[in-house]
Every structure is written in structure tokens, then in C-alpha cells.
Structure 1
Amino acid sequence: MSSTSTSWNGGRLVFPSVITNEGNGYNPSNGIFTAPISGMYVFFVNVQSYSTQHIYVDIVLNGSTKVRTMAYSYNNNDSYESGPNLAVLNIQKGDAVWIKRHSGSGYYHNGPITTFSGFLIHM
């Protein structure tokens, strides 16, 4: 992420800052990874809550939630909790993977801390 949000209520989390995009499968304009080839992929998401807010996000394949993670502050001070999760998915060329908001609204950015990553492990 390239910014913090205290009121995000969108459906898809878009990650506009891209470090590596081998094969150009990730679109930083809409937040969707489209598989350039079929294979076994690993996808990882880490979401950092903003202050005392909470956020739940899903790794989604073609509209179907595969895993969920959450970052939730359990006390009333600024605790900025982290929620990581990953999914190993067998996907076909052209399948789409993205991060979707399940609930909550606040995520934090301080360098690369709320992130989405993926890589091919086997064709």
C-alpha cells in the first residue's frame, strides 16, 4: 500500500506500488492478479490495522474466498495489529486472484507493511 486509510469500505484492496511483477500478471490499477500461466501459486497477504480499528480481508480466487485474515485491536490504545495469511492455489491461465474486504475499515501504511504477494511454485 502507498497510503493509510481510516475509512476504507471498498470491495477490493488495490496495491498501487509494485516491487516485482514478473510476467505482468498483477494490475496495480484494479488490484487483480491474472495468472499468465497455469500452475500452483502461493499468495500471501498482510494487513495492518489502523490504531484501534479492525479489518478483515480475504484472498479471493475467481470470486470465491479461499482464506481470511484479520487485524484487530483488542484494547483502546494505538496498538496497530497485524494479520497475515497465505493460500496455496492450483490455478489456470486467466484465473483472477485479489484481496477483498470482508469487514472493518482501517488499514495502516508505513512503508511496505500492508502487502499482497504471490509467486508460481510449480507448473
Structure 2
Amino acid sequence: MRRIIAFQSRISRTKVNLANYAAVVFEKVTLNDGNAYDARTGKFTAPEDGVYSFTWTILTKAGKKFNTEIVHNGNINGYNHADGVSGSSSYSSGSSSAIIKMKKKDEVWIRTHGGDGQHAYDDWSSFSGLKLTTLFKTALLVVCMIFVVYAKERPQDKYNTVCQGMGYITTNCTAGEKGIIAFQSRISRTKVNLANYAAVVFEKVTLNDGNAYDARTGKFTAPEDGVYSFTWTILTKAGKKFNTEIVSNSNIIG
């Protein structure tokens, strides 16, 4: 059975006036299956190759800001905006997510965006992540192994045939990973005064396993039946709005 790799953490001590591009350490760990997250450095180190999903939330106070970015081996993969400065009279929070393809020993962490690390509240600010995999993989692997046990002739050939029928990339169930379908993208050019019900195109693609997302149209086309999860974040400026909706075959979902 393949191990679960997942962690959940949050800030245990309020962060104030962090240095430029300083790592944000989420010290209080409530889950660390796989022991890949280091609460001393705030860094997640991939224990194996794969596609990983990360989410983080920051809460700041009125008059302060704590803008952050997620980095993969030092390369920016996404941003999070928590700004209590621009006319806010109360707390301000921001959440963001990123899906990142990682090699074993690659690192991911949250850091301040320049000098914007002014104030982040403890407990209300969190960072989590997990390795994506097919939900039914373990059950299929068990079936595959049982088949091998009862095969009378050339069991490895029968084992391989079953694995291929299940959709595994390689013939050996334990050696391969059924194809992951995942994408990560962000806007590369500021959008201004879009038409009514216009598609919002996120042109900058940092991950597109399965090639299901089209950066020309902004549309994701399901390559196979299944249940899919989507997350999107929009940042606008004072005095403006940019309200959006997610649609499936033109039907509003959210």
C-alpha cells in the first residue's frame, strides 16, 4: 500500500516585520504523514516524485499587510494578498493554492513578498499540502495482487495484463502511477473592463499534467469521466471589482 503524504500546520506565534523574502514558518503542526514538512524551517521537502497540492491562508490586522508567495526551489509559483492597509477598518485575510509537480527532495515553502511581511496572526494563519493520487488506486492494487496469487501459469504476465487494464502507465502496478490530471495557472496580463460574461483567461501555466487546460481560451476540458476540484483566486484594487463565476458546460457552478 502506498503511503499518504500530507501535512497541516499553522502559525503559533504572531509574525511581525519579517525581512524581505523571509520564509514564513508555520510552527504548530497537527498532521505530518510522511514527515515531509519541517516546522523549524517552514519547508516541505518532497519524499518522492509526484504532483502536490498546497493551500495557505494569512490573517492580518487593520493598518498592516502580510503578502506572501509560494516558491518551489526558489521559483515563485503563486501569490497571496492579505492587505489591511487600503482603507480597511478590520481584519483582512487572504487564501491561495498551488498545484506543483515535484521531484524527490524538491522544496516548497511560503515566503514574504518583498517587505510586505508586517503582521500575520497566530492560529488564524495556516499552511497545508498533500500528494495527489488516484482515489481508487489502493483498492485496484489489492485486486491486482490477489489476481497474481491465484494465477497458475506465468503469474507476472497475468499481473501485467491486469495492471494495464486498470490504466496504469507501466505494466507493474507498484512501479507506475496512474496518470494525474492537474493544472496550475495564473493571469500574466492585468484584466481591465472585460465584457459581460467574458471568459477569464489565465495565460501563465506552471503545470498542465494531462494537457486538459487551454491557456488560449482559459477552458479546462475533462479528458475522462470523474469528479474534479477547482480553486481560483482574484485580486482587484480599491474602487474596482472583479466578480467571477465558474461554469460547467455554460451552467453556473459557483
Same fold (TM over 0.5): yes
1:47 lines up with 2:55 in the alignment: no
1:108 lines up with 2:121 in the alignment: yes
Unaligned runs of 5+ in 2: 1-10, 134-176, 178-254
Q: Give the structure-1-normalised TM-score.
A: 0.90
Query: What is the Cα-based RMSD across aligned positions, in Å?
Result: 1.4
- Matched with 1:18 is 29
Which structure has more strand as a fraction of its residues? 1
Query: What is the identity, as a one-letter code, of the residue corresponding to 2:106?
Result: D
| Cα deviation 1:49-108 (Å, max 9, x = unaligned) | 13320111011100001000110122253x111110000111111100000111311111
- Matched with 1:7 is 17
Which structure has more helix as a fraction of its residues? 2
1:1-123 → structure 2 map (5 Å cutoff): 1-9=11-19, 11-73=22-84, 74-75=86-87, 77=89, 79-102=90-113, 103-104=115-116, 105-109=118-122, 111=123, 113-122=124-133
Q: Give the structure-2-normalised TM-score.
A: 0.45
Unaligned runs of 5+ in 1: none
Distance 1:3 1:19 in 2: 15
Distance 2:88 2:49 in 1: 46
Count residues with an aligned counterpart. Answer: 120
SS of the equivalent of 1:87 reads strand
Distance 1:52 1:37 in 2: 42
Q: Cα 1:116–1:76, aligned 2, differ >3 Å: closer, same or farther? A: closer
Distance 1:17 1:63 in 2: 23
**RCO higher in structure (CA 8 A, sep ≥6):** 1
SS of the equivalent of 2:33 reads coil
